Amino acid sequence: MFEHPPFRRCPRCKGESFGTLSVGGNSVTKRCKECRYSHSEALPATEKRVIYLDQFAVSELYKTKAKKRRPGAPHEQFWQDCYSLGNLAYLRQQVIFPASNLHSDETIVWHSPEELRLAHEMFSGETSFERTDAIATRQEWEFAKAFLKGGTRPTLSTDVDQIILGTRNAWLPIYHISVNANYSMFAPGLRQDKAIAEASLKHLADGWVSARPTFDDLLKHELSSYGSAMRQALREQITKTQAAFASNDPTSVLDMRFGLISRYRELTELFARNGVPAKDAFKEVLRFLDWPENQHQPAHRIFAYLFAALGWRISSGQRPEMNASILNDFSAISTYAPYVDAMFVDKQCASLLRQGRLRDELGLKARIFSLSSPQEFLDYLKDLGDSATEDIRVLAHELYDAEA
């Protein structure tokens, strides 16, 4: 590491050679490039907002930054403005845009793994979201503990720091070093699941067209299906695992996933530790899955509403373009929207959320933006940048060369 301009008067040798060495946590270390005198100075506390950007937005912003956007591609001005306002708010320590495991959508072509990594680290503030399935598992865990106590459903905290890896309020380092980043979240392997999801979604849509369910029918069905859906998914995973072992095919064994199997094994152990006889513990877990209160698990509940809204649109004659990536958006919204400040998602999802019942009954904490309301998103980003205090602006200018 070496000293970074601007160079100020050194407290020891009095030369104009006292520069910035590094920034970490809530302090900056300065050092003289002549006499090597150094000290740390405290930086003001920050309170960064958290925004989820969908894969498409991450890609557009990265291409804007790298000047790789095709000239004349749609919304050129919007993405440019979005990049500069987002970057300013980011350097002024007002916001971070953490990377997510959902960002592995394969419909967007990346030229190299390096590019994918750079795109996701660009505005991440050295953080990432915890995996979506881990967040849902933790919600289920809290509900299971309440079930064991025989009581009422728990009230879950919506503190965003619970779902972020890394330190949200640390000042951005001047040198971004991505040694600890774990990009296994972007590993391939989703393709097959995606094809299955797409096929079953089409199948469902055909059913909605012929049966014409109402929003209420769909919602009730979705909300009450927690137990049956989980049991079915678990059954499928067990069957696949057994088949893989029986097949003696090394690749199918490597493809195996134990997510749900270990999730319910851990829950069974929790039940056994809490006074349920070991031999009955798994049976009791299955009984818990059918607990009606599970319809209040945030991720499950929001997903059910979105799914019902989509189904209702289709059943009432609209046939929106549908592919499995809408399920990715549903996962993002249902997992992150109770915790984050804002989300930028696909237009269709944003419009489902504006539907009366969803707006009134879900009470999402996150503000939802999309390409349908580009100016609102730009205004939001601008307000964030503008909300930095004078001393933070001066420091952002000095440390990161942010516009003063």
Q: Which residues bind Zn ion (CB under 5 A)?
A: 10, 12-13, 32, 34-35, 37
Q: How far is the CB of 7 from Zn ion (least distance, A)?
A: 10
Q: How far is the CB of 10 from Zn ion (least distance, A)?
A: 3
Assess contact for 369 and 377: CB atoms under 8 A: yes
Pull the structure tokens for residue 18: 């006292």
Q: How far is the CB of 84 from Zn ion (least distance, A)?
A: 36
Q: How far is the CB of 30 from Zn ion (least distance, A)?
A: 10
Q: Which is nearer to Zn ion, 38 or 274 (CB)?
A: 38
Helix (H) or strand (E) holding 49: strand 49-53
Q: How far is the CB of 5 from Zn ion (least distance, A)?
A: 15
Q: Which is nearer to Zn ion, 34 or 198 (CB)?
A: 34
For residues 305 and 342, what is the distance between their CA atoms, to the nearest angstrom?
19
Residue 264: closest CA among 238, 243, 242, 245: 238
As beta bridge partners, residue 53 has 344
212 DSSP 8-state letter: -
For residues 174 and 22, what is the distance between their CA atoms, to the nearest angstrom?
6
Q: Which is nearer to Zn ion, 19 or 125 (CB)?
A: 19
Q: Which is nearer to Zn ion, 31 or 301 (CB)?
A: 31
| Dihedral angle, C-alpha 67, 68, 71, 73, nearest 10 ° | -120
Pull the structure tokens for residue 171: 């000042």
Among left, alpha and beta (phi > 0; psi -120 to 50; other), residue 380 is alpha
Q: Which is nearer to Zn ion, 35 or 148 (CB)?
A: 35
Q: Which is nearer to Zn ion, 17 or 268 (CB)?
A: 17
Q: How far is the CB of 18 from Zn ion (least distance, A)?
A: 6
Q: How far is the CB of 171 from Zn ion (least distance, A)?
A: 24
Assess contact for 264 and 282: CB atoms under 8 A: yes
Helices (H), 33-96: 55-65, 76-91
Residue 168: closest CA among 77, 69, 255, 95: 95
Q: Which is nearer to Zn ion, 20 or 55 (CB)?
A: 20
